[in-house]
Structure 1
Amino acid sequence: MEKFEKLTGIAAPLPLINVDTDMIIPKQFLKTIKRSGLGVNLFDEMRYDDDGNEIPDFVLNKPQYRESEILVAGDNFGCGSSREHAPWAIKDFGIRCVIAPSFADIFFNNCFKNGILPIALPQDQIDVLMKDAEKGSNARMIVDLENQTITTSDGEVFPFEVDQFKKHCLLEGLDDIGLTMEKAPAIDAFEAKAGTERPWV
């Protein structure tokens, strides 16, 4: 998993509440078990019309937001079903950080497991960040995980809280498999000892 340390990028404003996982990645795209290739279908029903043409007014279709790496959204982001394809699609599009007043628990935890930093902030701070994001590609935010701060394009700084274990995993680029592999020497030693003591197993 890619490490997350400090991100400087364009923030896209999505001032919608209750954005559920079916809005993030509709059910017809859940057939794959690959984590790549889903970015093109992120927010599919909001990005494209019935003929597959881009809807110009949708934020991620606007030229200034096509390279967005940060998403500022409304309350209860990621609600609905627990599909892990939702963070897969967000990450594949290129978004590494989602900032919102609150998140659905399963989506929130799935983000960390896929290299995405979800940040929950009070609504008044979200309002400031949303307004900053509306400036487009000329305004870049800085998300500093080590120091747990978000800096707007105007230099205003907002601290955020994050679970220290989850922070460690993002900083080191460790998903569940990576965490297990950290214990590889102990696992190898256990298996060697078990093979000697119980050769019949």
Structure 2
Amino acid sequence: MEPFTVLTAIAAPMPEPNIDTDMIIRIERLRDLEPHQLGPYAFENRRYRPDGSETPDFVLNREPYRRARIILAGPNFACGSSREAAVWALRGFGVRSVIAPSFGPIFVNNCYQNGLLPVVLPEAAVRALIEEVEAAAGRAEVTVDLRECTVIAPSGGRWRFEIDALRREALLKGLDDVALTLSREAEIAAHEARDRAARAWLYPATATG
């Protein structure tokens, strides 16, 4: 995975609550497409009319939000089914972070597995960010600094966010769960050796010739 350290980018306001995973990616697309092909179909029912033409007033069809790498979302973003494809579609579109007051819980874990940073901020903070971005017609960029666990508004306002230490380490280094575990192989082996010495009865004896 690509490491996540500091991201300064266009942020698209999507304040509607309860945007679910089916809105992010239609389940029908999962039958025929590989994960890396889903980006063009993110928010398909919102971005396109039945005839395939763009819906002109949808935020991601407007400049500069077409180039958004951050989404400023409403409460309970990505609720609903547990499909990991919702994250694949967002990543394929170019999104690397979603800032919201709350998320669907399964979506959060899927984000960490795919290098997308979910940031929880108070609803008032997300609203303030949206107001700043909209006042600048989207041309004022937002910064998400994972090293400092801080979101920085275009005006310089700052909000701290919390993230599990291991999740933060994995994103900073670009590691999924398996790679993170392997990176700690020496620590795991040392722990097992200490435990074997302290509780030898738990470990089967090794046969000798």
TM-score normalised over the length of structure 1: 0.89
Q: Is the 8 A contact 1:4 1:173 kept in 2?
A: yes
Equivalences for 1:1-201 in 2 at 5 Å?
A: 1-31=1-31, 34-134=34-134, 135-182=136-183
Specify whether residues 57 and 169 from structure 1 end up closer, same or farther in structure 2 by C-alpha distance, changes over 3 A only: same
**Offset from partner CA, 1:131-165 (integer Å, 9 cap, x none):** 12223342001110010111111111111111111
Structure 2 distance, partners of 1:33, 1:108, is 23
What are structure 2's unaligned runs of at least 5 residues?
189-205
Divergent runs of 4+, >3 A? 183-187
- Alpha carbons 1:11, 1:140 under 8 Å: kept: yes
Equivalent residue letter for 2:109? N
- Contact 1:48–1:54 (CA under 8 A) maintained in structure 2: yes
Alpha carbon RMSD of aligned pairs, Å? 2.2
**Structure 1 residues not aligned, in runs of 5+:** 188-196
**Structure 1 SS opposite 2:130:** helix
1:176 deviates by 2.5
Change (3 A) 1:185 1:33: farther
Which residue type is aligned with residue 139 of structure 2? N
Amino acid at match of 1:73: A
CA distance in 1, matches of 2:138, 2:76: 26
The answer (yes or no) to whether the contact 2:133–2:139 under 8 Å persists in 1 is no
How many angstroms does 1:32 deviate by?
5.0
1: distance between equivalents of 2:27 and 2:75? Answer: 22
Q: Percent identity?
A: 47
Q: Is the 8 A contact 2:24 2:44 kept in 1?
A: yes
Match of 2:203 in 1: none
Q: Deviations over 1:68-107 (max 9, x none)?
A: 0100010000101000000000011001000011001100
Question: Shift of residue 37 of structure 1?
Answer: 1.5
Q: CA deviation at 1:184?
A: 6.5
